[in-house]
Amino acid sequence: MTKKKAIFLTGATGYLGSYVADVMLRETDVELLLLTRARDRQQAVERFWQAMQMHMDAATYYSFLDRVRFMPGDLTAPGLGLSAEDRAFVVKNADSVLHMAASLNRKSEKTCLNHNLRGTLAVIKLSREIQDDHGLRRFSHVSTVAVAGQRDSETLREDDAIEWDRSDYDPYGRTKKFCEHMVRELLPEVPKTFLRPSIVMGDSRFAETSQFDMVRAFCVLVDLPILPFSGESRVDIVNADWVGRAISEIHLKDAPKYDIYHLSSGAASHRIHEIARALVASGKRRPPRFVPALEGSFEKVMDQLAGMKAKNAATLVGSLFKVFLPYITYDTVFLNDRAVEEIGLAPTPFIQYAARLYDYAKSVNYEYPVLPLPSRESVAKTPAPNVSRGVASA
């Protein structure tokens, strides 16, 4: 009997990680070894449910748990915080590693250094042990298009993105760029795949999302009567359901055609003015006017607001724009033809689902309404509604 593939997966309780776990649990028979920040298995089960409830009902969730082994730990703890028993199990049983966990905190150098650099190094060291024990089928690293650094009006292919003498926008892009470098240097003989999502925002099939930072930034923008920059810049936004599928399918392939993939909207990226119109399409208000001459003054005001110690709506807006404005206005897209070729499916255009994402985010005040996990016994006694949604198939 052929042994099932076992994947050591980090970041499964995160937004994008939940999409990957959903595909793998729903469409394959792989076993998932999940590094989970939890004190014990019960807390890990509850944390994973918080991420997965957007994709499935409790009955479906419980039905998949026999293929999930939770590894309580922490990305920044020595040895990933794994117990000796769990670490030995991973080393003996994992056939591949899919490293997704990271800090997306674009302001904190300290947080990015600890989670992205130290955390990735710890995952590499564990992978080295697996490789030395029985060989590693694949190490996949979920990176970001932000490794390309500061750009202006460019269209980039995967192999042209990293230039070491180019400045970075923030600690997030800087540390993720070096993470890719560490993986290449420290696992030279292991088959490797680097997966670089662009701006992942929303789901093409339903309105709900549990990640709101960039969504809030766009909603605040289009609610302004005037936007202080050009509406002609392209913004590379991609739907989470497509990215989750691409990561899952490419990682599971025995021999992907390439080693780097942009998970992006690519040449189909929309202009800001198109996105603004699409976001407010379901309402009665007009999209904002674009006045590029005000961009410099606007950036100064946002920087001042972001630097204030007070915590209020104004400082929140300032912080949002200080962090995200460069990614909204740099007019750069990342060609995705490799990923589209590999999985045989293109992303859904953002403007097709933007309005319902805008309406949903406003309706929940930018906070996903997490429900507690019902007991297995109560689920067994009560027929569950069919809310299973899955991920768009190729």
Strand pairing category for 234-235 and 270-271: antiparallel
**What proportion of the chain, given as a percentage, has pLDDT over 70?**
96
DSSP assignment letter at 318:
H
Q: Give the number of other Cβ atoms within 10 Å of residue 295's Cβ.
A: 16
- Alpha carbon 29 to chain centroid, angstroms: 23
> E strand or H helix at 174, and its extent?
helix 171-186
What are the residue boundaries of the structural domains of the chain, listed by start?
1-197, 201-236+266-332+349-370
Structure tokens at 358: 């805008």
Q: What is the mean pLDDT of residues 344-372?
A: 96
Question: How many Å apart are CA 243 and CA 192, to the nearest integer?
Answer: 18
In the prediction, which pLDDT does 322 show? Answer: 73
Q: What is the mean pLDDT of residues 227-232?
A: 89
> Strand, helix or coil at 117?
helix
Q: Are 202 and 357 in contact (CB under 8 A)?
A: yes
In the prediction, which pLDDT does 390 show? Answer: 55
Would you say residue 287 has pLDDT above 50? Answer: yes
| pLDDT (tens digit per residue) in 73-132 | 999 999 999 999 999 999 999 999 999 999 877 778 899 999 999 999 999 999 999 999
Helix extents (H) in 15-68: 15-27, 41-52, 58-64
- Which one has a higher pLDDT value, 325 or 218? 218
Q: What is the mean pLDDT of residues 38-53?
A: 95
**Range of weakest confidence among 228-232, 353-357, 383-387:** 383-387
Would you say residue 391 has pLDDT above 60? Answer: no
In the prediction, which pLDDT does 175 show? Answer: 95
In the prediction, which pLDDT does 389 show? Answer: 61
Would you say residue 384 has pLDDT above 70? Answer: no
In the prediction, which pLDDT does 229 show? Answer: 86
> Strand, helix or coil at 212?
coil
**CATH code, 1-197:** 3.40.50.720
In the prediction, which pLDDT does 250 show? Answer: 98
Question: How many Å apart are CA 333 and CA 233, to the nearest integer?
Answer: 10
Q: What is the mean pLDDT of residues 148-175?
A: 95
In the prediction, which pLDDT does 3 show? Answer: 61
In the prediction, which pLDDT does 383 show? Answer: 61
Closest-CA residue to 30 (of 60, 61, 67): 67
Would you say residue 139 has pLDDT above 90? Answer: yes
Question: How many Å apart are CA 76 and CA 74, to the nearest integer?
Answer: 5
Q: Give the number of other Cβ atoms within 10 Å of residue 27's Cβ.
A: 15
Question: How many Å apart are CA 6 and CA 344, to the nearest integer?
Answer: 25
Would you say residue 1 has pLDDT above 60? Answer: no
DSSP assignment letter at 107:
S
Q: Are 34 and 48 in contact (CB under 8 A)?
A: yes
In the prediction, which pLDDT does 387 show? Answer: 46
- Residues in the chain, overall count: 394
Structure confidence at residue 314 as a pLDDT band (50, 70, 90)? confident
Would you say residue 342 has pLDDT above 50? Answer: yes
Question: How many Å apart are CA 22 and CA 272, to the nearest integer?
Answer: 31
Would you say residue 299 has pLDDT above 90? Answer: no
